[in-house]
């Protein structure tokens, strides 16, 4: 259709991004990134992509072929994502977790990986909750990808104990950080001291399962932080009953998304209004 005299005909190019996971229907990432984009008057497309459990690599290559510029990666694909990367951000290298959650598609098949989970967790705990991590006694519950992805951001604590159902899985993590601070591994049941900060990085909350941890790990001065969000988990209930301060992982979700947004766009969004908007639901 011809335009008006002097009008230039053009088609706006919309930047395309996605989040890849299995499952993925529950993801709030599209809403968060659209809210961030609106702060800067940007128009982006951000999709949820359900990848087959054996089809992550093919899914990423399809997005590259379809001119997507980047993708966030959630469970269970963060380790596979790491193996697809041609280069890594400095913090992804420093974490030594072997997992990334943010991919940038650089053209010519090149993929750059980043891990924003640790920075997101740290920003939420310190900036939003006002809790200083440096010099504190910290208990990490779980030794899977979620724990490994954030551990490198916590190394100014005075002590870290990593507890897992099978402590052998935590031993490599402990060995990797022992040069920085006092660190040890434990079973859940063998815990026998209190901590300033207790982070639940297990998926027990998804099935409403209670972790076999003793109440003695909590005091009135403990911050009990569940990386799960959107539900009052048995971990949070136990910590609250024991008198601890309790927080879920919604702030971490938004803060790590802000780190990814900055990585892709070079812009730092305001996170507080986005966190507040989700708290209202």
Q: Where are the domains of the chain?
A: 15-114+252-280, 131-247
Of the chain, the percentage scoring pLDDT greater than 70 comes to: 94
Tell me the average pLDDT across 127-152.
94
Residue 171 and residue 164: Cα distance in Å, rounded?
A: 10
143 is in an annotated binding site: yes
Task: Say if residues 156 and 248 touch (Cβ distance below 8 Å).
Answer: no
Task: Say if residues 103 and 238 touch (Cβ distance below 8 Å).
Answer: no
Which CA distances in Å does 145 have to 189, 216, 231, 261? Answer: 22, 26, 21, 22
Beta-ladder partners of 44: 15
Q: How confident is the model at residue 3 (pLDDT cuts 50, 70, 90)?
A: very low
Which tokens hold the place of 67? 């001119």
Which tokens hold the place of 31? 């809403």
pLDDT digits over 67-105, tens only?
A: 999 999 998 899 899 999 999 998 888 766 688 999 999
142 is in an annotated binding site: yes
Which tokens hold the place of 139? 């208990």
- Into which CATH architecture does domain 15-114+252-280 fall? 3-Layer(aba) Sandwich (3.40)
pLDDT digits over 45-67, tens only?
A: 999 999 999 999 999 999 999 99
Q: How confident is the model at residue 9 (pLDDT cuts 50, 70, 90)?
A: very low
164 is in an annotated binding site: yes
Tell me the average pLDDT across 100-118.
95
Q: Which CATH superfamily is domain 131-247 in?
A: NAD(P)-binding Rossmann-like Domain (3.40.50.720)
Q: How confident is the model at residue 281 (pLDDT cuts 50, 70, 90)?
A: low
140 is in an annotated binding site: no
205 is in an annotated binding site: no
Residue 102 and residue 179: Cα distance in Å, rounded?
A: 28
Q: Do domains 15-114+252-280 and 131-247 have the same CATH topology?
A: yes
168 is in an annotated binding site: yes
Q: Which of 210, 219, 206, 212 is nearest to 186 (CA)?
A: 212
pTM for this prediction: 0.91
- The reported pLDDT for the residue numbered 95 is 64
Residue 245 and residue 224: Cα distance in Å, rounded?
A: 6
Task: Say if residues 205 and 231 touch (Cβ distance below 8 Å).
Answer: yes
Query: Looking at the annotation, which residues are catalytic?
Result: 78
């Amino acid at each position: 259709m011809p335009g008006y005299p002097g009008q230039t005909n053009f088609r706006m190019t919309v930047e395309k991004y996605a989040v890849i996971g299995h499952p993925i229907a529950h993801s709030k990432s599209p809403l968060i990134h659209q809210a961030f984009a609106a702060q800067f008057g940007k128009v982006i497309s951000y999709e949820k992509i359900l990848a087959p459990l054996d089809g992550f690599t093919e899914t990423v290559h399809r997005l590259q072929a379809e001119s997507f510029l980047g993708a966030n990666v959630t469970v269970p694909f963060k380790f596979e994502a790491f193996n697809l990367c041609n280069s890594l951000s400095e913090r992804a290298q420093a974490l030594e977790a072997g997992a990334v959650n943010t991919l940038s598609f650089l053209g010519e098949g090149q993929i750059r990986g980043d891990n924003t989970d640790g920075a997101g967790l740290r920003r939420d705990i310190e900036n939003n909750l006002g809790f200083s991590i440096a010099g504190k006694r910290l208990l990490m519950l779980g030794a899977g990808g979620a724990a490994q992805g954030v551990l490198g951001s916590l190394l100014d604590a005075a002590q870290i104990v990593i507890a897992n159902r099978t402590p052998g899985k935590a031993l490599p993590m402990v060995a990797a950080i022992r040069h920085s601070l006092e660190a040890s591994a434990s079973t859940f049941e063998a815990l026998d001291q209190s901590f300033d900060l207790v982070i639940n990085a297990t998926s027990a909350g998804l099935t409403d399962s209670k972790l076999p941890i003793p109440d003695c790990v909590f005091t009135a001065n403990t911050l009990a932080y569940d990386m799960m969000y959107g539900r009052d988990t048995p971990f949070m209930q136990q910590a609250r009953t024991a008198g601890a301060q309790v927080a879920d992982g919604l702030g971490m979700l938004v803060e790590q998304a802000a780190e990814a947004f900055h990585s892709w766009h070079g812009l730092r969004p305001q996170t507080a209004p986005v966190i507040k908007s989700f708290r209202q639901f």
